[in-house]
Amino acid sequence: MAAVRLDELEHAALVVDDGAKALVARATGMIHLLNDDYMDEEAPVPADPDGAGGHDYVVVPPASQLGIGDPLVFRFAAAHLADDQAAVRALVDANDIDGFARLLDARGATASWQQFRGEETKAALRRWCAEHGLQVKD
């Protein structure tokens, strides 16, 4: 069984959060994005995504279901930006990534956020892969 790259899996989960569908091929570790807006020519749509009773592919869940994406931002804010939780929620609701980055910078929390995000994201993706019998490649 081929390994799944964590950075590609994270990207796929974030794209799924935006309404696309993604599958991981168990045999190759390749991630197939099933949405015209995100189509990847290197990973074309499988001819039979449900082949072999649906055991050849694993559906990638949305980032929010994995606890990454917006939920991760809120967990970080609760632990590290307790006085700014309302501001963080407003920034997330407005999809204001630059505003969140400015807030982190103003609070001296950029490095903490980057470390937290990296560790939590990898842990969540590794758990998901383990639950679905997928090997991981960093």
User: Per the structure, how many domains does the chain have?
Assistant: 2
- What is the reported pLDDT for 54? 59
- What is the reported pLDDT for 13? 94
- For residue 25, what are the domain limits? 3-60+132-137
For residues 71 and 54, state if they share a domain. Answer: no
- What is the reported pLDDT for 51? 46
User: Is the pTM of the predicted complex or chain greater than 0.85?
Assistant: no
State the residue for tokens 């609070």. Answer: 107
CA distance linking residue 26 with residue 29, whole number of Å: 6
For residues 75 and 120, state if they share a domain. Answer: yes
| pLDDT tens, the chain, 138 aa long | 679 999 999 999 999 988 889 999 988 999 988 876 655 555 555 555 554 445 789 999 999 999 998 999 999 999 999 999 999 999 999 999 999 999 999 999 999 999 999 999 999 999 999 999 999 987
CA distance linking residue 95 with residue 112, whole number of Å: 21
For residues 49 and 93, state if they share a domain. Answer: no
For residues 84 and 55, state if they share a domain. Answer: no
For residues 88 and 48, state if they share a domain. Answer: no
- What is the reported pLDDT for 55? 77
- What is the reported pLDDT for 5? 95
Burial class (CB in 10 A: 0-12, 13-18, 19+), 13: buried
For residues 74 and 41, state if they share a domain. Answer: no
For residues 73 and 56, state if they share a domain. Answer: no
- What is the reported pLDDT for 2? 78
- What is the reported pLDDT for 56? 87
For residues 92 and 120, state if they share a domain. Answer: yes
State the residue for tokens 């929390």. Answer: 109
